[in-house]
Structure 1
Amino acid sequence: MDAGADNGGQKGTANAAGPDGARAAGRHRTGLSGKLLFLTILFVMLSEVMIYVPSVANFRDGWLRDRLTMAGITAVFLHGERSFDRATQDKLLEASGALAIAGYDGERRRLIAATTMPPEVDSHIDMRDMDPWTSVAETFETLVFGGDRTLRVVGAPAMGEGFVEILIRDAPLREAMLTFSRNILALSLIISAITATLVYLSLRWLFVRPMQRLTRAMAEFSDDPENADTVIAPSGRADEIGDAELRLAAMQRELVKTLHQKRRLADLGLAVSKINHDLRNILASAQLFSDRLGTLEDPTVQRVTPKIVGALDRAIGYTRSVLEYGRAGEAAPERRLIRLSHLVDDVGDLLGVAGSETIEWKNAVDPELEIDADPDQLFRVLMNLCRNAVQVLDGKADPTLVRRLEVGARRGDGATLIQVRDTGPGVPEQLRPTLFQAFSATARKGGTGLGLAIAAELVRAHGGTISLTDAGPGACFEIHIPDRGRNGQRNAMKDRGRPEYGQNGKAG
């Protein structure tokens, strides 16, 4: 049922996200390409405009200089020794495009040729000291306002000294500039179209298509994230997109691995819950037999029976916790004020290390030290840590090895620090980054890697921390459990008038 529900949920999620993903992919395919083409054309046209402005100004200056050159030649021709009649002068003026021609030879200024009645001058242009900004301004003034104005243009003569001065209509100049502008515009459109097409195709091949491939790969993977065949195959590109493909492939492979592990854990959890249910019934039967043993008068039975009953009670409590965890996680701690030394003795008795001939067991907790914690959960934490240490210390039957397991504690700053120390080989360096993760930190054959993960979760439920410290040979775990007042709750110990303890566990 769980697997079916998971598959249904995944399909529902894929179906819900599928249309949106398809629409998003469609928008990106058309939108990005269209925007790319539009921006490319726009930027090319802006570049052409920036080129057009000085080009048309330069065309206008060249056109005026050509008229001055022709006027200068006409002036030299008319100023010669031969005299011309009026009709001939008018034809020469018409050929040069001028209404009047005047010159200055260094001594005096004189009118060389003119129409019957020269018109009134509307604008003066001196080509001898023309700067670029003035040329651009006057060019666009002619384009916008020209057409029926008379211009007085002054420039250097083609031959000799002085200057040449002509009067011309600006209509031919404006028409020539408009023709030039149309040609520039047509050429710009052609260049823009060719450039935009080349840039568009290049960028689409380099960026858009790989991005579409990434999008399709992510969509296919999201539809079936547990299928390793949906992992993207990197194209081998040696650029940022190739790096993105490699990282996406690595992330997808890791996610597939994680999902497979989660699925196995879910199946394992269901199996454990079933086994745990039956085990709980068996333990309950064993508890009934232990109760009967308690009625016997044998001293050994009377001494051992309470410990058996306590162990069975804890085992039944663990089975109940497993079933509750399958529904909602670990139960919240029910904190009480307990004597830590007695709890540590129970751990040693249950593990069988108290009085052991192979492992030296040392309960270094002050008998008067009290801690505010859930007794069952704290017992489970110490049991997991001490069981790991016992399994490591029992590894080699070498009488020269020092095999010692010690549990100590001290009070300070509104918290209790518990240390579990052994003289084993220590924790391998490669296991330390995932030391408190489930199914990760185990170097022992047959180990599950759950003990430290359970201990860490229970300590965190108390608002505390657990860590591995490098405090001498072997392994040393430190458990820091703050009082309830330091964890946002009522400080029961202070309400009861409990004294604080110093480094050695004595009342201070």
Structure 2
Amino acid sequence: MDDRAQNYKGSEANGLLVGSAKGQSAGNGKEKGYPSFGLSTKLLLLTIVFVMLSEILIFVPSISKFRADWITRKLELAEVAALIYTNASDDLKDKAIEQELLNRLNVQTLGLRNHGERRLLAMVDMPGKIMRDDNIQSMGPPELIAAAFDTLLFGKGRTIRVVAQTKDNQGMVEMVFDETGLRGDMIRFSINILLLSLVISMMTAGLVYLSLRALLVRPILGLLDNMARFTSNPEDTNAVIKPSERRDEIGMIEMQLGEMEGILANTLHKQRRLADLGLAVSKINHDLRNIIASAQLFSDRLSILDDPTVQRVVPKLMGTLDRAVDYSRAVMSYGKAQEAPPDKRLLNLHQLGEEMRDLLDLSETSRLTFSNHIPKDLEVYADPSQLFRVLMNLCRNSVDVMQGRKEEAVICRLDLFARIENDKTIIEVSDTGPGVPEVARAHLFRPFQGSVRKGGTGLGLAIAAEIVRAHGGAIRLLDRSPGAHFEISLPRE
């Protein structure tokens, strides 16, 4: 195992294996290294085992062939000796010559069969009891394999008889011999095969091990190290893996891991910014509510004045302050990822649009015109405060965008429409502004991502979408130009 695997310990390893690097490492103080019985060791052992299995499959037919060849060579020598002996003169055929013949062939009896007649050429004084008969030429592969293992297991001290047809096919040569010598040669052959197999296995395993380690194990260890470094500081973009130029599966994993780590690093960076922003908003919101409370006290004092203009303006001012308090509270509730359940009532939608006109405070010198096209008798079943917030967010976005236009000839108009369609109330907010940028459309109703104007946070559209969904409705951006056109669909009941 290389140095990288040996030294792969400490908080980084804890972070990857446990999933919480800093907490776990600091908590238990233990160091975890790369496992000693790792992938490299498993690959080496599996390669040796598989090569040995293949060698066993080769050994089975090899040992049976060795036995058959050994007996065949012995039969050929016996046939030659038998022919020479039968053609020799009678004065050469004595007991001493027969014994010498049997000793040279290492058999107990030697005989020939011609035309059904068996002729015994030589025999020892006390031959052993024949325990097995083999006709090598008539045995198939399964029989040869079975005979080979039978010899290995039971051949010690056993006497067998073997017959085979002569070269001229005129008869059969027969011999009886002790199987101990054959068994010893087969055992030596098996040992040689085993040693050779071990050498081949080790060489093959070593080559396969080195190849797989270079192709798989080392890249995987590199991925492991990268994940450990990234886990220790996931917001560090320098810890994101740099994919190699490999075009195989490892290269694909590196590319996918790099993309995932990049997305995660950017997401965590955004989340940290959002957390900081949330803390700042909470602080601002706290102070803002105190300021609004002071403004409410001053408005209460104004309400006791008899001036007609004051009496006309003060109720609207107080309503505006009340909504400001509600908005301040809504910001905090949004931080808790929840809105209050809508308190639905039957509303006059045209009147709600007129209130919108007053709060937008469009002066007579303003180039922007507001038109309320909602029928005066159109009613909708919704929460008054929440629906007002939805329309105010949409209208305020349009006003802010169009008021920034400097060209005198550009028409700046904001229109409210509404209609009944089947069992739904359709509300449309349209303007003649520049429209929604293409880059903002993909995340239009997501907080801090779908702002339609420069410097915006996108919270207005996110809150509007959440409120509409709480009413069982839907909000969408219509694919229409020029300008931006938002459609709100609310159920009638």
Q: Is 2:109 the partner of 1:69? A: no
Q: 1:22 to 1:43 in 2, by over 3 A?
A: farther
Give the aligned partner of residue 207 of structure 1: 216
Give the aligned partner of residue 477 of structure 2: 468
Alignment-mate amino acid for residue 417 of structure 2:
V
Query: Which residue of the other structure, out of 396, 410, 420, is the alignment partner of 2:420?
Result: 410
Contact 1:333 1:377 in 2 (8 A): no
Give the aligned partner of residue 251 of structure 2: 242
Q: 1:465 to 1:153 in 2, by over 3 A?
A: farther
Give the aligned partner of residue 431 of structure 1: 440
The Cα shift of 1:220 comes to: 1.9
How far, CA to CA, are the matches of 1:247 and 1:24 in structure 2? 29
Query: Which residue of the other structure, out of 18, 32, 37, is the alignment partner of 1:30?
Result: 37
Give the aligned partner of residue 199 of structure 2: 190
Contact 1:123 1:150 in 2 (8 A): yes
Give the aligned partner of residue 315 of structure 1: 324
Give the aligned partner of residue 488 of structure 1: none
SS in 2 for 1:147: coil
Contact 1:122 1:151 in 2 (8 A): yes
How far, CA to CA, are the matches of 1:449 and 1:338 in structure 2? 29
Give the aligned partner of residue 154 of structure 2: 145
Greater shift, 349-358 or 429-438, is seen at 349-358
Give the aligned partner of residue 41 of structure 1: 48
The Cα shift of 1:366 comes to: 6.2
SS in 2 for 1:452: helix
The Cα shift of 1:218 comes to: 1.4
Contact 2:353 2:372 in 1 (8 A): no
Alignment-mate amino acid for residue 252 of structure 1:
E
How far, CA to CA, are the matches of 1:478 and 1:162 in structure 2? 108
Structure 1 regions of 5+ residues with no counterpart?
1-11, 484-492, 494-508
Q: Is 2:456 the partner of 1:447? A: yes
Alignment-mate amino acid for residue 63 of structure 2:
V
Q: Is 2:381 the partner of 1:371? A: yes
The Cα shift of 1:86 comes to: 1.8
TM-superposition CA deviations, 1:270-303 (whole Å, max 9, x none): 2222222222222223223333443444444433
The Cα shift of 1:187 comes to: 1.4
How far, CA to CA, are the matches of 2:165 and 2:402 in structure 1? 109
Q: 1:165 to 1:91 in 2, by over 3 A?
A: same
Contact 1:150 1:169 in 2 (8 A): yes
Contact 2:161 2:175 in 1 (8 A): yes
How far, CA to CA, are the matches of 1:21 and 1:72 in structure 2? 83
How far, CA to CA, are the matches of 1:13 and 1:138 in structure 2? 64
Give the aligned partner of residue 120 of structure 1: 129
Q: 1:59 to 1:354 in 2, by over 3 A?
A: farther
After the TM superposition, which residues 4-403 of structure 1 pair with which residues of structure 2 at under 5 Å, given as runs?
13-18=20-25, 26-28=33-35, 30-83=37-90, 84-105=93-114, 108-159=117-168, 161-326=170-335, 328-339=336-347, 340-352=349-361, 358-364=368-374, 367-372=377-382, 374-394=383-403, 395=405, 397=407, 399=409, 401=411, 403=413
How far, CA to CA, are the matches of 1:476 and 1:105 in structure 2? 113
SS in 2 for 1:124: strand
TM-superposition CA deviations, 1:354-398 (whole Å, max 9, x none): 9976335234266342314x3322222222122223344444646
How far, CA to CA, are the matches of 2:89 and 2:363 in structure 1? 141
Q: 1:478 to 1:173 in 2, by over 3 A?
A: farther
The Cα shift of 1:153 comes to: 1.6
How far, CA to CA, are the matches of 1:366 and 1:163 in structure 2? 124
Contact 2:357 2:370 in 1 (8 A): no
Aligned residues with identical type, % of pairs: 48
Q: 1:315 to 1:20 in 2, by over 3 A?
A: closer
Structure 2 regions of 5+ residues with no counterpart?
1-18
TM-superposition CA deviations, 1:61-113 (whole Å, max 9, x none): 11111111111111111121423112211221222232222333457443333
How far, CA to CA, are the matches of 2:33 and 2:248 in structure 1? 26
Q: 1:22 to 1:255 in 2, by over 3 A?
A: farther
The Cα shift of 1:56 comes to: 0.8
Q: 1:155 to 1:18 in 2, by over 3 A?
A: farther
Q: 1:21 to 1:97 in 2, by over 3 A?
A: farther
How far, CA to CA, are the matches of 1:22 and 1:44 in structure 2? 43
How far, CA to CA, are the matches of 2:220 and 2:131 in structure 1? 61
Contact 1:151 1:169 in 2 (8 A): yes
Q: 1:461 to 1:17 in 2, by over 3 A?
A: farther
How far, CA to CA, are the matches of 2:36 and 2:351 in structure 1? 70
The Cα shift of 1:48 comes to: 1.2
Q: 1:111 to 1:45 in 2, by over 3 A?
A: same
With the length of structure 1 as denominator, give the TM-score of the two structures: 0.82
How far, CA to CA, are the matches of 1:358 and 1:465 in structure 2? 28
Q: 1:396 to 1:76 in 2, by over 3 A?
A: farther
Q: 1:354 to 1:165 in 2, by over 3 A?
A: farther
The Cα shift of 1:467 comes to: 2.7
Q: 1:100 to 1:436 in 2, by over 3 A?
A: same
Greater shift, 172-181 or 420-429, is seen at 420-429
SS in 1 for 2:429: strand
Q: 1:441 to 1:184 in 2, by over 3 A?
A: same
Q: 1:396 to 1:106 in 2, by over 3 A?
A: farther
- What is the aligned-residue RMSD (CA, Å)? 3.1
Q: 1:334 to 1:178 in 2, by over 3 A?
A: same
How far, CA to CA, are the matches of 2:353 and 2:112 in structure 1? 121
How far, CA to CA, are the matches of 1:163 and 1:244 in structure 2? 71
Contact 1:122 1:149 in 2 (8 A): yes
Q: 1:125 to 1:346 in 2, by over 3 A?
A: farther
Contact 2:368 2:412 in 1 (8 A): no
Greater shift, 21-30 or 302-311, is seen at 21-30
TM-superposition CA deviations, 1:185-212 (whole Å, max 9, x none): 1111222222222222222222222212
Greater shift, 228-237 or 210-219, is seen at 228-237
How far, CA to CA, are the matches of 1:389 and 1:39 in structure 2? 70
How far, CA to CA, are the matches of 1:279 and 1:120 in structure 2? 116
TM-superposition CA deviations, 1:222-275 (whole Å, max 9, x none): 222223333333343332222222322232233222222222222222222222
Alignment-mate amino acid for residue 165 of structure 1:
E
